[in-house]
Amino acid sequence: MASSADDERMKMLKAFDETKAGVKGLMDSGLLKIPNIFVRPSEELAQESLLTYKNTTQIQVPVIDLSDIQINDDKRKQIVEQVRIASETWGFFQVVNHGIPLTVVDGMIDGVRKFNDQDVVEKKKYYSRDIKRRVRFNSSYDLFTSTTASWKDTLTISFSGPAHPTHPEELPPPCRELAMEYSKHVEILGNSMLGLLSEALGLKTDHLENMECSEGHRLHCNYYPACPEPQLAIGITNHSDAGFLTILLQNQIVTGLQVLHQGQWVDIQPIPGALVINIGDLLQLVSNGKFRSNEHRATTSHIGPRISVACFLSGPLNGDMNKIYGPIEELISEENPRVYRNVLLSEYVAKFLSTSMDKYRALDYYKL
Ligand code: OGA
Ligand code: NI
Question: pLDDT tens digit string along 144-173?
Answer: 999 999 999 999 999 987 777 899 999 999
**Does residue 139 line the site of ligand 1, with CB under 6 A?**
no
Instruction: Give the integer Cα–Cα distance in Å for 282 and 93.
Output: 18
Looking at the chain, the whole-number percentage of residues with pLDDT higher than 90 is: 80
Q: What is residue 252's predicted lDDT score, i.e. its pLDDT?
A: 72
Residue 357: what pLDDT? 82
**Residues 86, 248, 252, 96, CA torsion sign:** positive
Burial (CB count <10 Å: 0-12, 13-18, 19+), residue 176: middle
Give the position, in ligand 1's atom list, of the atom nearest the Cα of 278. Answer: 7
Among protein residues, the one whose CA lies closest to atom 10 of ligand 1: 308
Average pLDDT score over residue span 216-241: 96
Q: How far apart are CA 181 and CA 256, in angstroms?
A: 26
pLDDT digits (tens, 9 = 90+) for 24-72: 999 999 989 999 999 999 999 998 877 655 545 578 999 999 998 888 8
Q: Are 171 and 137 in contact (CB under 8 A)?
A: no
From the number of C-beta atoms within 10 Å of its C-beta (0-12, 13-18, 19+), residue 209 rates as buried
Residue-level pLDDT at 59: 87
At residue 52, the pLDDT reads: 58
Angle between helices 102-117 and 176-200 in degrees, nearest 10 = 130
Strand partners, 276: 94, 248
Tell whether ligand 1 has an atom less than 6 A from the beta carbon of residue 207.
Answer: no
- Confidence (pLDDT) at 54: 52
In angstroms, rounded to a whole number, what is the distance separating the alpha carbons of residues 332 and 112?
Answer: 43
d(CA 40, CA 172): 33
Q: Which atom of ligand 1 is nearest to the CA of 310?
A: 5
> From ligand 2's centre to the CA of 2, what distance in Å?
30
Q: Is 112 in the pocket of ligand 1 (CB under 6 A)?
A: no
Phi, psi of 309 (to 5 degrees): -125, 110
Q: H helices of the chain, where?
A: 4-19, 22-28, 42-50, 73-88, 102-117, 120-124, 176-200, 207-210, 281-286, 345-353, 362-366
Q: What is the DSSP letter of 170?
A: G
Are the CB atoms for 125 and 115 separated by under 8 Å?
no
The values of phi and psi at residue 92, to 5°, are -140, 145
296 lines ligand 1 (CB under 6 A): yes
Nearest to 297 by CA among 25, 40, 14: 40
Better pLDDT: 141 or 359:
141
Average pLDDT of the residues in 117-139:
95
Using a 6 Å cutoff on CB, does residue 306 contact ligand 1? no
Q: Whose CA is nearest to atom 6 of ligand 1?
A: 241
What's the pTM value of the predicted model, to 2 decimals? 0.96
298-346, pLDDT tens digit by residue? 999 999 999 999 999 999 877 788 999 999 999 999 999 999 999 999 9
Tell how strand 63-65 and strand 92-96 pair up.
parallel
Q: How many angstroms separate the alpha carbon of residue 146 from the centre of ligand 1?
A: 16
Calpha distance 101→84 (Å, rounded): 25
What's the mean pLDDT when you consider all of the chain? Answer: 93
Contacts of 13 (CB under 8 A, 6+ apart): 37, 143, 144, 149
Tell how far the Cα of 32 is from the centroid of ligand 1, in angstroms: 25
Handedness of CA 352, 353, 354, 358 (dihedral sign): positive
**Residue 321: per-residue pLDDT:** 86
What gap in Å lies between CA 119 and CA 35, rounded to an integer? Answer: 23
Judged by DSSP in three states, 140 sits in coil
Task: Tell which atom from ligand 1 comes closest to the C-alpha of 268.
Answer: 8
The verdict on the CB of residue 256 being under 6 Å from ligand 1 is yes
β-bridge partners, 94? 63, 276
Does the bond joining 305 to the residue before it have cis omega, within 30 degrees of 0? yes
Out of 138, 220, 309, give the residue to mutate to test ligand 1, the one with the largest number of ligand atoms within 8 Å of its CB.
220
Q: What is the Cα–Cα distance from 306 to 223, expressed in whole angstroms? A: 6
Burial class (CB in 10 A: 0-12, 13-18, 19+), 255: middle
Pocket mutation for ligand 1, best pick of 23, 138, 146, 222 (most atoms within 8 Å of C-beta):
222
DSSP secondary structure code for residue 365 in this structure? H
* Mean pLDDT to the nearest integer, 215-235: 96
